[in-house]
Amino acid sequence: MANHEQQSNGNGEMNQLKIPEIKFTKLFINGEFVDSIKGRNFETVDPRTGEVIATVAEGDKEDVDVAVKAARTAFDQGPWPRMSGFQRARIMEKFADLIEQNNNELAALDCIDAGKLFMMGKLVDIPAGAASLRYYAGAADKIHGEVLKSTRSLHAYTLKEPIGVAGHIIPWNFPTSMFLMKVAPALAAGCTMIVKPAEQTPLSALFYAHLAKQAGVPDGVLNVVTGFGHTAGAAISSHMDIDMVKTVATPLYDSPWL
């Protein structure tokens, strides 16, 4: 982490950008960083300079199958969907704390990987992502159905349950915002998931997976498969053991995870 660059904050002042060490480049499946089954890698490039930042594991259909199996086991047999909303909220709050503690490094990753302004990431994208986690953490223990009025002698009610295994395919332009916009409500609802970040911007997604594990998210709940749309993305989109796939931004009030 010895490299430094200068960026203007728009007021004539220069801010020093510390180029981060790239710590995570493998697939994150069932709580572990692992190589792809075929052993393939691809380069992620700094769009500002065209220079290669790192080589990242290239996931394919076989890797998606392993990740889905981990997510399915975590949903069908693991603790996450069976925790109270309050318990899930505490872990999500810890996740948000860790994001805030690693603000500079996350902003720098999005800067070199997506070409975003470092100060925009530090002051807007990363804090907003943590705030999104806290928002949905606050909703986790408020997911409930309602008793319905019946014209007959019946007890009628609605019951909201997590939908199951979710697939998230993330675009490149807002790697942090889109990652947490999709992951946070799914976590709050008790879902497990597979996330495929854009091949142009995989680095912060892998860092978020590391922080989620540190926060106490159980193994298999959050899996990140890096790779290309026509291979890993297509495998997620067509997988019959994934219950829902989300590919673009969803308004905050939309709750498809139940």
Q: CA-based Rg of the chain, rounded to a whole angstrom?
A: 19
CATH number at residue 235: 3.40.605.10
Q: CA-CA distance, 184 to 88, in Å (whole number)?
A: 11
Instruction: Please provide the DSSP assignment of the chain as one string.
Output: ---EEEEE-SSS-EEEEEPPP----SEEETTEEE--TT--EEEEE-TTT--EEEEEE-B-HHHHHHHHHHHHHHHHHSSGGGS-HHHHHHHHHHHHHHHHHTHHHHHHHHHHHH---HHHIIIIIHHHHHHHHHHHHHHGGG----EEP-SSS--EE-------EEEEE--SSSHHHHHHHHHHHHHHHT-EEEEE--TT--HHHHHHHHHHHHHTPPTTTEEE--B-IIIIIHHHHH-TT-SEEE-S---TT--TT-
**Average pLDDT of span 73-102:** 97
- When divided into structural domains, the chain yields a total of 1
User: What pLDDT was estimated at residue 15?
Assistant: 52
* Domain span holding position 214: 25-37+56-246
Length of the chain: 258
Whether 207 is covered by a domain: the verdict is yes
Q: CA-CA distance, 186 to 174, in Å (whole number)?
A: 18
Whether 11 is covered by a domain: the verdict is no
Q: Is the pLDDT of residue 254 over 60?
A: no
pLDDT tens column, 22-65: 999 999 999 999 999 999 999 999 998 999 999 999 999 999 99
User: What pLDDT was estimated at residue 256?
Assistant: 56
Residues 6+ apart with CB under 8 A from 152: none
Please check whether residue 162 is in contact with residue 257, taking contact to mean a CB–CB distance below 8 angstroms: yes
Angstrom CA distances, 62 to 35, 71, 81, 94, 118, stand at 12, 14, 26, 32, 36
The tokens for 58 are: 């290239």
Instruction: Please provide the DSSP assignment of 18-79 as one string.
Output: EPPP----SEEETTEEE--TT--EEEEE-TTT--EEEEEE-B-HHHHHHHHHHHHHHHHHSS
Please check whether residue 51 is in contact with residue 140, taking contact to mean a CB–CB distance below 8 angstroms: no
Task: Indicate the pTM of the whole model.
Answer: 0.89
Whether 20 is covered by a domain: the verdict is no
Whether 17 is covered by a domain: the verdict is no
pLDDT tens column, 145-199: 889 888 888 888 888 889 999 999 999 999 999 999 999 999 999 999 999 999 9
Query: What is the pLDDT of the chain when averaged over all its residues?
Result: 91
Whether 48 is covered by a domain: the verdict is no
Whether 255 is covered by a domain: the verdict is no
Whether 84 is covered by a domain: the verdict is yes
Whether 80 is covered by a domain: the verdict is yes
Q: Is the pLDDT of residue 246 over 60?
A: yes
